[in-house]
């Protein structure tokens, strides 16, 4: 069977259902939460053809209301479809997967407490979310919390090559790090290539008087706040940026500042900060 994060833990729970726990998968987009949940269901319940009445996948960003929980989740728990159709599955348990669970309303989250109080080997809830900060505090202690991390750039590139075959690709480790190794960021925009790396290269090597004009040109391809964050991330990784620079870039990227400040003035402010960083960078080489 395919290897998945927490492989040994999942196998232990499946082989010993009395150890089954409701699980909370937490990690950035593209870190493998949904794929791990699907593989977990295949191992415990069986092939997807046996999931009817056994596995319920819900995207909480689309179905996040209390009404959705009442009309879909609880009827699924009480459903006897598996008895009617006699599907041959590995387990008679039921699994409910909430993708983007942090978007569930507070009322919807609290309505799930009776299910979280049930024995997980009978009805198991899997919450998948980018951050647990928006989950109700009374629910979090009911879960086994499993953090998911983005793969390192080398693994990221291997996965991209496997998906697209032998096509030539141009993705740098910096681009992989900047997108937190989210495969979809490249697969949805395959022509972007190493856009971030090329942009940084220009800024680090161009004459200082051209910095602002380069920013203005690239602003058509990269969001303004993305530019600021990308540059700070780069200088921070080089050990050049300091906490004082972090304060400056937070102020430059502040949404309220962007709303009231003319674009040309914002470009000038960002260019001045980059030039200051460039001077520190140039003194190091």
Alpha helices in the chain, H assignment, sequence order = 7-15, 33-44, 66-68, 74-78, 81-85, 106-110, 113-116, 137-140, 153-164, 173-178, 183-187, 195-205, 211-218, 224-237, 243-252, 255-260, 263-282
**Model's pTM, two decimal places?**
0.66
Q: Rg of the chain over CA atoms, in angstroms?
A: 24
The pLDDT of residue 76 is 92
Q: Which two tokens stand for residue 274?
A: 């980059």
- 3-class state of residue 128 by DSSP: strand
- Give the model's pLDDT for residue 164: 72
Residue 221: burial class (beta carbons within 10 Å; 0-12, 13-18, 19+): exposed
pLDDT of res. 223? 64
Strands 94-99 and 123-129: parallel
Q: Please state, in angstroms and rounded to a whole number, the distance separating the CA atoms of residues 93 and 266.
A: 57
| Per-residue model confidence (pLDDT) at position 264 | 82
Structure tokens at 65: 């209301």
Q: What is the DSSP string of 60-104?
A: TTTS-SHHHIIIIIHHHHH--HHHHHT---S-S-EEEEEETGGGS
Q: What is the DSSP letter of 21?
A: -
* Alpha carbon distance 192, 201 (integer Å): 15
Q: Which residue, among 241, 208, 201, 249, has the nearest Cα to 225 in the 3D structure? A: 249
The tokens describing 108, both together, are 């919807």
Residuewise pLDDT in 10s, the chain (285 residues)? 345 678 899 999 999 999 999 999 998 887 889 989 999 999 999 888 888 889 999 986 677 888 888 999 999 998 876 555 555 666 788 999 999 999 999 999 999 999 999 999 999 999 999 988 889 999 999 999 999 987 777 777 777 777 777 566 667 776 776 666 676 666 666 656 677 777 877 887 889 999 888 888 877 666 666 667 777 777 777 777 877 877 877 777 776 766 777 888 888 888 888 888 888 877 766
Residue 262: per-residue pLDDT = 82
The pLDDT value given to residue 2: 45
Give the model's pLDDT for residue 1: 39
Hey, what domains does the chain have and what are their CATH numbers?
A: 7-147 (3.40.50.300), 153-282 (no CATH)
Read off the tokens for 223: 């969001």
**216: number of Cβ within 10 Å:** 14
In this structure, what token pair is assigned to residue 117? 């109080």
């Amino acid at each position: 069977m395919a290897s998945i994060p927490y492989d040994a833990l999942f196998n232990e729970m499946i082989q010993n259902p009395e150890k089954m726990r409701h699980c909370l998968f937490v990690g950035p987009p593209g870190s493998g939460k949904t794929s791990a949940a699907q593989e977990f269901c295949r191992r415990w319940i069986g092939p997807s053809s046996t999931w009817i009445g056994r596995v319920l996948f819900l995207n909480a960003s689309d179905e996040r209301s209390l009404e959705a929980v009442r009309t879909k989740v609880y009827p699924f728990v009480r459903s006897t479809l598996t008895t009617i159709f006699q599907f041959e599955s590995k387990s008679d348990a039921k699994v409910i997967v909430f993708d983007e669970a942090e978007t569930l309303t507070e009322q919807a989250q609290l309505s799930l407490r009776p299910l979280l109080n049930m024995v997980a080997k009978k009805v198991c809830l899997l919450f998948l979310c980018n951050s647990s900060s928006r989950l109700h505090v009374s629910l979090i202690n009911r879960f086994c919390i499993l953090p998911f991390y983005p793969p390192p750039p080398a693994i990221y590139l291997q996965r991209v090559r496997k998906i697209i075959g032998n096509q030539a690709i141009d993705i740098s480790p910096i681009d992989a790090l900047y997108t937190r190794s989210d495969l979809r960021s490249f697969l949805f925009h395959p022509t972007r290539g190493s856009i971030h790396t090329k942009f940084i290269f220009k800024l680090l090597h161009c004459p200082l008087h051209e910095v602002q004009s380069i920013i203005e040109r690239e602003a058509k391809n990269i969001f303004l706040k993305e530019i600021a964050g990308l540059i700070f991330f780069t200088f921070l990784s080089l050990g050049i940026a300091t906490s004082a620079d972090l304060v400056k870039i937070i102020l430059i990227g502040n949404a309220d500042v962007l709303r009231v400040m003319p674009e040309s003035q914002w470009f000038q402010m960002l260019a001045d900060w980059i030039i200051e960083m460039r001077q520190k960078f140039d003194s190091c080489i």
